[in-house]
Structure 1
Amino acid sequence: MVRTLGLTQLTMIGVGAIIGAGIFSLAAAVARGTAGPAVLISFLVAGAASLCAAFAYAEFAGMVPKAGSSYTYCAAVLGEIVGWIVGWDLLLEYTAIVAVVAIGMSGYLGFLLDAVGIQLPTWALGAPGTGTGHKIDLLAVAICLAVAWLLTRGTRTSARVDTVLTIVKIAIVLLVIVVGFTKVSTDNLTPFAPFGFGGAFAGAATVFFAVFGYDALSTAAEESVEARNKVPKAMMFSLAISMALYVLTCIVLTGMQHYTELDPSSGISSAFASVGLNGLANVIAVGAVIGIVTVTFSFMMGAARLWYALSRDGLMPAWFGAIHPKRKVPHRATWVIGVVSALLAGVLPVNAVAELTNIGVLLAFMVVSVAVLILRYKKPHLKRGFRCPGMPVVPVLGIAFSGWLMSYLLWETWARLGAWLAIGLVIYAAYGYRRTRRVMPGGSVDLDALDDLTDAEDAEPHIARETVR
């Protein structure tokens, strides 16, 4: 792959991954059914947990900026099988996230189509069980396939499109905040926590997937210029920008319209329509579609790069990790992710998919936090482009936060994760165990060797290729 991404593009990929369905769809759904106006607390709690994990990710990205992200980090410290479990876990989670945000986007697309008098047939309006006569969410399917096509055009081209769309999205979110504050009524904020603070904490477990995205950003490390320095910075910048926008938007959303009247599928647009700002509601719907496209872009890109890394290291068939000879992207993995996410988005309700994504990412965050804690004391000499502050307190808080949020998820979600991991262990035993490459005899990636290799990659990519040969 080719190193073309700078700090601005990396930050925009991060913001693009974080800001999307969380603001435009999930905030309203959680406020209405779980937290009320205390959805603000839900986002703050989820953001605090996410920040602890972000510090751990940033330290690893500053040491080993490889496409595998969590998989590479965990394999390096805790062994190949732990790395495989995390990588296999995140392969499903990233794909499911793409499906979740595509479902969220389809609601806003439907809002726009209704505004101009276009109505899709009933069977195409949602997954089975989401409404009378619903058979498939056709718009969500189309979104997943369209983003897969964009990603196969090449990293430079697709990243430029993502940057432009993310800037437009931020502008529209700022418009929502500025105009929305003029329509906030304190009466709508009472009671603040109608479901109790337990409801707010349960909401944090649901919205958690809306406050990460920097982990998907880290999978672009092998396509980044000066990755050791710029990838950690982009992680911090993207999370800070996104959390500020989330907090302000939650206040506007629940202050404009009482939580019992919020529309879970197009919350912000319906809130603006409820105060007579129908024209602006349509603009916001356009912004929601644009915003959610960038989330789909970032996580599908992350899933494809993760699959590329697993294939390159021998844990998955090499066919999936093939790089397009002209566009220099893992095109086969991208199309597989696109098709699978389209199937999930077309036939599953949004809540089932959202909870599946959260438990897997929380598990990965716990393992990465454990790994960074161990490595700081096991190999303090390694070069680090970023150092996690507050050791050992911050990683321990990351572990505790993640475990606590996981405890709020339904047993069915745990069962689905267990089944997926069991399938992964069978694949590892039958295929990956004897075919891995670039792995030490003891089962851990040689961090010292990768340390030297990454220096070469950051300076002159062709030197790294000669080193591999």
Structure 2
Amino acid sequence: MSLAELRGQMLRRKPIGEIEEDTPADERLAKSLGLWQLTAIGVGGIIGAGVFTLAGLVAHQTTGPAVLLSFLVAGIASAAAALCYAEFAGMIPKAGSAYTYGYVSLGEFVGWFIGWDLLLEYIAVAAVVAIGVSSYFNFLLEAVGIHLPDWMLGAAGTGNGHVVNVFAALFCLGAAFVLSRGIRSVGRFETVAVGIKVALVVLIIVLGVFQIDSSNYTPYFPYGTGAVMTGAATVFFAVFGYDAMSTAAEESVDGKKHLPKAIIYSLGIAMVLYVLATLVLTGMQKYTEIDPGSGFSSAFKAVGMPGIANVIAVGAIVGIITVVLTFMLGVTRVWYSMSRDGLLPEWFAKTHPTRKVPTRVTWIVGIASAILAGLLPIATVAELTNIGILSAFVVVCVAVIVFRYTRPEVPRTFKLPLMPVIPIIGVIFSIWLTLSLQWQTWVRFLAWLIIGLIIYIGYSRVHSKLNQPGAAVADAPAR
């Protein structure tokens, strides 16, 4: 094979109109999600470990009270990317999200790169969140007098006697079970659970504001102003989730109309709650005393409100589980979409005959995330997730610019304003945040991408549906 042939395979693009039409009946997904169910899934993916775990962890170890600014910086970068996702979602309401957007606009290799990236990142996000919810679960058990053996309470190196985080692993497997029951069940569960979670965060804000001691905000930058960017890079995974929601596009009853709105609504709701919640947390308790595992519960306990602390622990468990569900939903749909396109074995694209969900990949993802959650510390997994998602955001922001000018005739139900300023802001912020991550994170990420490159050259480019005789390939973009 010549380099010219390899280049042609890597740059071939999937036609928008043929993404789903030729899908066999046993590989199709059921459509049952409306606007508010999609928004609930988005909010469910955004609000969770960021409020209940990472806010306290980052405030305690990295930023101090300035954690609020870290969330704002991360939110600005995420908002720029969210508008890009919204424009694509209105054009291409198909499973796969950033993978699909990259495939149709920038070519097969970019699509593969971002899809392979998201397989690891979404699994890692689910693991991070499960670790977070396990801390609250243990807090609740101790509050009622149940003390479990140290070996089962965390990964090795995270505490005295810790060996494995049993509860985190079980939460991942439980989420896989719920997903395997069908998308309608997931949508209903998410809607109810997200309602409980939002009510809980509002309760935290309303009660906590009366417990604020302004002296806790001094010093505001105990670790220096540069720590704000490091904190933003760490909490970044807490301000996306709409991207995982967009992977469920084919299960929406009207994706072109509802997806752009759901993306914008979910991020807007989440950011307002994040800002107010972090303001309350760092005002209630000195940053040096905040519990990095269960921040809000420990804060309310410290101000003499243990009953509220227990309520928060229960609500946090329910709320954080919705994040696990959302990102597991995301990774299974990306995996399903890549397999349907031939870039991974088609065996993974088979759906359950009655529930119409990809149960095979769902259980593989559940087991993989359980292993990560059980054996790795939360900070290590959190940074790994962020570099992958930031890379996906760069691709989507670049792709929306390219597609706007090369395919202006494609109908768009939503067009992001200030093109190309907003996508460029998204690219700059995303790259800036990746540079704040530790070098070990880059090494792990590059190792994963090298493995993906080997698989693409050895398997995916040959088995791609676009490599089959007579396959339709998108015309070269207009110049």
- TM-score category of the 2 structures, normalised to the smaller one: over 0.9
- How is 1:263-412 mapped onto 2 (pairs within 5 angstroms)? 263-412=291-440
User: Aligned-pair distance for 1:276?
Assistant: 0.2
2:442 aligned to which of 405, 411, 414: 414
Change (3 A) 1:413 1:196: same
Identical-residue share of aligned pairs (%):
58
Q: Do structure 1's residue 189 and structure 2's residue 217 form an aligned pair?
A: yes
TM-score (norm. length: structure 1): 0.94
Amino acid at match of 2:292: P
Q: Which secondary structure state, in structure 1, belongs to the residue aligned with residue 37 of structure 2?
A: helix
User: Aligned-pair distance for 1:447?
Assistant: 8.6
2:128 aligned to which of 83, 100, 116: 100
User: Aligned-pair distance for 1:322?
Assistant: 1.2
- Decide whether the 8 Å contact of 1:36 with 1:259 is kept in 2: yes
- Aligned residue for 2:184? 156
- Decide whether the 8 Å contact of 1:78 with 1:444 is kept in 2: no
Q: Do structure 1's residue 134 and structure 2's residue 148 form an aligned pair?
A: no
Amino acid at match of 2:262: A
- Aligned residue for 2:151? 123
Amino acid at match of 1:181: V
Q: Distance in 2 between matches of 1:175 and 1:116?
A: 22
User: Aligned-pair distance for 1:135?
Assistant: 1.0
- Aligned residue for 1:434? 462
- Aligned residue for 1:466? none
Q: Distance in 2 between matches of 1:197 and 1:443?
A: 54
Offset from partner CA, 1:291-345 (integer Å, 9 cap, x none): 1000001000010011000000001111111100011100011100000000000
- Decide whether the 8 Å contact of 2:461 with 2:467 is kept in 1: no
1:171 aligned to which of 199, 211, 220: 199
Change (3 A) 1:444 1:340: farther
1:226 aligned to which of 233, 243, 254: 254
- Aligned residue for 2:5? none
User: Aligned-pair distance for 1:131?
Assistant: 1.3
- Decide whether the 8 Å contact of 1:188 with 1:255 is kept in 2: yes
Q: Distance in 1 between matches of 2:33 and 2:107?
A: 30
Q: Distance in 2 between matches of 1:149 and 1:342?
A: 13
TM-score (norm. length: structure 2): 0.92
1:35 aligned to which of 63, 78, 88: 63
Q: Distance in 2 between matches of 1:446 and 1:312?
A: 18
- Decide whether the 8 Å contact of 2:465 with 2:471 is kept in 1: no
Amino acid at match of 2:359: H
User: Aligned-pair distance for 1:269?
Assistant: 0.3
- How is 1:5-16 mapped onto 2 (pairs within 5 angstroms)? 5-16=33-44
Change (3 A) 1:175 1:60: same
Q: Distance in 1 between matches of 2:475 and 2:233?
A: 34
Q: Distance in 1 between matches of 2:337 and 2:469?
A: 19
Amino acid at match of 2:165: D
- Decide whether the 8 Å contact of 1:77 with 1:444 is kept in 2: no
User: Aligned-pair distance for 1:443?
Assistant: 11
Unmatched 5+ residue regions in structure 2?
A: 1-28
Structure 1 runs of 4+ aligned residues shifted over 4 Å read: 438-445
Amino acid at match of 1:95: I
Q: Distance in 1 between matches of 2:473 and 2:212?
A: 54
Q: Distance in 1 between matches of 2:177 and 2:273?
A: 30
Q: Do structure 1's residue 83 and structure 2's residue 107 form an aligned pair?
A: no
User: Aligned-pair distance for 1:446?
Assistant: 3.3
Q: Do structure 1's residue 18 and structure 2's residue 18 form an aligned pair?
A: no
Q: Distance in 1 between matches of 2:224 and 2:97?
A: 37
Q: Which deviates more, 155-164 or 80-89?
A: 155-164
Change (3 A) 1:436 1:279: same
Aligned residues: 448
Q: Which secondary structure state, in structure 2, belongs to the residue aligned with residue 196 of structure 1?
A: coil
- How is 1:43-58 mapped onto 2 (pairs within 5 angstroms)? 43-58=71-86
Q: Distance in 2 between matches of 1:283 and 1:179?
A: 12
User: Aligned-pair distance for 1:441?
Assistant: 9.4
User: Aligned-pair distance for 1:439?
Assistant: 7.0
Change (3 A) 1:204 1:51: same
Q: Which secondary structure state, in structure 2, belongs to the residue aligned with residue 431 of structure 1?
A: helix
Change (3 A) 1:143 1:392: same
Amino acid at match of 2:154: G
Amino acid at match of 2:282: T
Amino acid at match of 2:132: G
Q: Distance in 1 between matches of 2:382 and 2:148?
A: 25
User: Aligned-pair distance for 1:255?
Assistant: 0.2
Q: Distance in 2 between matches of 1:444 and 1:403?
A: 35
- Decide whether the 8 Å contact of 1:34 with 1:199 is kept in 2: yes
Q: Do structure 1's residue 61 and structure 2's residue 89 form an aligned pair?
A: yes
Q: Distance in 1 between matches of 2:279 and 2:475?
A: 45
- Over the aligned positions, Cα root-mean-square deviation in angstroms equals 1.5
Q: Which deviates more, 97-106 or 75-84?
A: 75-84
Q: Do structure 1's residue 214 and structure 2's residue 269 form an aligned pair?
A: no
Q: Distance in 1 between matches of 2:262 and 2:240?
A: 13
Q: Distance in 1 between matches of 2:76 and 2:472?
A: 31
